Amino acid sequence: MNLPNRLTILRIILVPFILVFMLPFRRLGMDIAWNNFVAEFGMIIATVLFLAASVTDTMDGQIARKRNIVTNMGKFLDPIADKMLVASVLVALVQLGRISAYAAIIIICREFIVSGVRLLAADKNVVIAASNLGKVKTVVQIVAIIAVMIAAQIDTFLPGHSMLKYLETGTTVLVFAAVVLTIVSGYDYVKKNMHFIIE
């Protein structure tokens, strides 16, 4: 269990904590003070945790390559951690009405397809590392999600503020770019690994 793999596992552990601060608890009979705290500051904390988790994604890969400790475990866990982080937060943002369910569905379905291909490859003792296009896709997804979370927090403190109009336009563009890259990278991934599917 080297440092990069520990960082990857930390990213997985952070996911439930991010969701705890993102999603409302009023229907769960939680304490009123806690509900109010989450309503006002939850998204800020969730954004910071999401950003921290995203940073570990960059760090684990860089450390592994620099120290030449790239392992099959790391290749296996890293994309799983990415999928858990992004998919969980996307679903939470859909529940909060911050992004379109269509965008979340496209992104999550792509991950199911890629995971299926990975399983076929694993059956032949092959571990497929993330492609450069896939890494760019992940970065754009993360940036888009952070932008949406920031917009949600600003909307909480400054509802109806004029800057929200421009911020929402920017987040829409980022989410659209993330969806396009998701489709393109998914197609590229399947095309390059088609031999695992048709054998």
Contacts of 71 (CB under 8 A, 6+ apart): 2, 5, 64
pLDDT-based confidence at residue 160 (cuts at 50, 70, 90): low
Count other Cβ atoms within 10 Å, centred on residue 184. 14
Token readout for 2 is 């080297």
CA dist., res. 184 & res. 135, Å (int) = 12
Q: Which of 27-36, 84-93, 96-105, 187-196 has the lowest mean pLDDT?
A: 27-36
CA dist., res. 180 & res. 188, Å (int) = 12
Among 104, 103, 109, 111, CA closest to 82: 111
Give the model confidence (pLDDT) of 93-118 as tens digits.
Answer: 999 899 999 999 999 999 889 888 88
- The pLDDT assigned to 198 comes to 81
Contacts of 120 (CB under 8 A, 6+ apart): 193, 196, 197
| pLDDT average, residue stretch 109-132 | 82
CA dist., res. 64 & res. 134, Å (int) = 18
Among 137, 141, 125, 124, CA closest to 186: 137
**% of the chain with per-residue pLDDT over 90:** 33
pLDDT-based confidence at residue 24 (cuts at 50, 70, 90): low
- The pLDDT assigned to 196 comes to 81
Token readout for 15 is 């996911």
| pLDDT average, residue stretch 64-88 | 80
Side-chain-side CA neighbours of 56 within 13 Å: the count stands at 25
Q: What is the CATH number of domain 3-198?
A: 1.20.120
- The pLDDT assigned to 29 comes to 57
- The pLDDT assigned to 178 comes to 93
Count other Cβ atoms within 10 Å, centred on residue 141. 25
Token readout for 113 is 């397809």
Token readout for 165 is 């109009």
pLDDT-based confidence at residue 53 (cuts at 50, 70, 90): very high
| pLDDT average, residue stretch 45-67 | 85
